[in-house]
Amino acid sequence: MKPTDYFSIKYVPKDSFEVNENLIFLDQTKLPLEENYVSTDNYERIAEAIERLEIRGAPLIGIAAAYALALSLKNIQADSEKVFNLAYERLARTRPTAVNLFQALDELKNEFENLPDKKKAFEILLSKAKEIHKKDEEYCLKIGRNGLSLFRQKSNVLTHCNTGKLATGGIGTAFGIIKTAYENGLVNHVYADETRPLLQGLRLTAFELEKNNIPFTLQADSSAAELMKQGKVDLVVTGADRIALNGDSANKIGTYNLAILSNYHNIPFYIAAPSTTIDKKIATGEEIVIEYRNSKEIFHIGETLISPENYNAFTPAFDVTPAHLISGIITEEGLFTFPYNFIR
Ligand code: MRU
């Protein structure tokens, strides 16, 4: 029987039965048909999980990478600097777009470099990783509460990709807003884009909506314009993987389409993300590195090959929505509107 609750990631300390301390994560590539948890203390296994999207979603990637970098030093006494640098470089190569990954890795790097005695590095970095995890959980709750101001009446909400517990350390970002608003009687119905090609909407958001008993309808990504034309969408809310200082926001491929469609139909279009998704080093979205995925992902649905594999394919995993198309960005600090100035 399937457990009624689920988690994306959990750090399990050594218990009285001498069970090794491990990171346990839910393999998201198998959802929703299989709820398979993987237990590991191997940073390379966690790096692979991030690459393969067993672990995914901007905040969760950062949290997992932090645990992985700490774990690289478990049982290491000599040469810890060499091991740390190798693990840092490996984890930084996993996925390029979500800035949370680099922010988390750099937080640990800063901590490590300032340690006078590297013998305690594992414990100290582990507590830093736990702190990053806990902070994201708190940010999600605040984003959920801040998002209530977007609802003027009981609304129909459209969302894209997956932004819930499976993508973060807490209740989620855009999903956290939907969940909090639903619990406050402000959500009538959720429309979830399937999110081609890896189907995070169909497989993961639907899984989370069902677990939370929130009424929903799935649709092919290409149905959004028709849904809006029929007057079935009151607002759109999605997450983000990296936000530039001017508010340009990278998110799952297809988000930019939704922003254009929302503006055309006069429907508010919001982005929800923790402040750790804001890249304070870049002025505009032009500087965001967009990940291109293997074309295999276009030609397969799940494990099944559905077309010849030698066709050319255009495979960006993310697109950048220009700031002027975004009605507001909700972080744990509140609602920001165009022109964006994230310093309060
Ligand atoms: O490729 P993914 O599944 O990692 O992409 C995830 C998204 O685009 C999410 O919308 C984003 O990370 C926000 S998660 C709170």
DSSP letter assigned to residue 125:
H
- Pocket flag, ligand 1, residue 242 (CB < 6 Å): no
Give pLDDT, residue 77.
82
Q: Is 241 a catalytic residue?
A: yes
* 144-343 fold: Rossmann fold (3.40.50)
Rounded to the nearest 5 degrees, what angle is found at the Cα of 47, between the Cα atoms of 45 and 51? 115
Give long-range contacts, CB 8 A cutoff, 24+ apart: 291-294. Answer: 291/95, 291/96, 291/97, 291/316, 291/317, 291/318, 292/316, 292/317, 293/197, 293/317
Taking residue 169's Cβ as centre, other Cβ atoms within 10 Å add up to 25
Rounded to the nearest 5 degrees, what angle is found at the Cα of 317, between the Cα atoms of 189 and 100? 85
- Pocket flag, ligand 1, residue 173 (CB < 6 Å): yes
Q: Annotated catalytic residue: which of 41, 241, 279, 319?
A: 241
Write down the CATH number for the domain with range 9-141. Answer: 1.20.120.420
Could you read off the pLDDT of 125-155 as tens digits, one per residue?
A: 999 999 999 999 999 999 999 999 999 999 9
Give pLDDT, residue 123.
94
**Is residue 196 over pLDDT 60?**
yes
Give pLDDT, residue 21.
76
User: Distance from the CA of 30 to the center of ligand 1, in angstroms?
Assistant: 17
**Is residue 34 over pLDDT 90?**
yes
Going from N- to C-terminal start, the domains of the chain cover 9-141, 144-343
Fold match, 9-141 / 144-343: no
Provide the pLDDT confidence category of residue 1 given band limits of 50, 70 and 90: very low
Could you read off the pLDDT of 267-287 as tens digits, one per residue?
A: 999 999 999 999 999 999 999
Could you read off the pLDDT of 75-110 as tens digits, one per residue?
A: 888 899 999 999 999 999 999 999 999 999 999 999
Provide the pLDDT confidence category of residue 195 given band limits of 50, 70 and 90: very high
pTM assigned to the model: 0.96
Hey, what are 243's tokens? Answer: 């936000």
Give pLDDT, residue 343.
77
User: Distance from the CA of 328 to the center of ligand 1, in angstroms?
Assistant: 18
**Is residue 4 over pLDDT 70?**
no
CA distance 219 to 227: 9
User: Distance from the CA of 340 to the center of ligand 1, in angstroms?
Assistant: 22
CA distance 51 to 63: 14
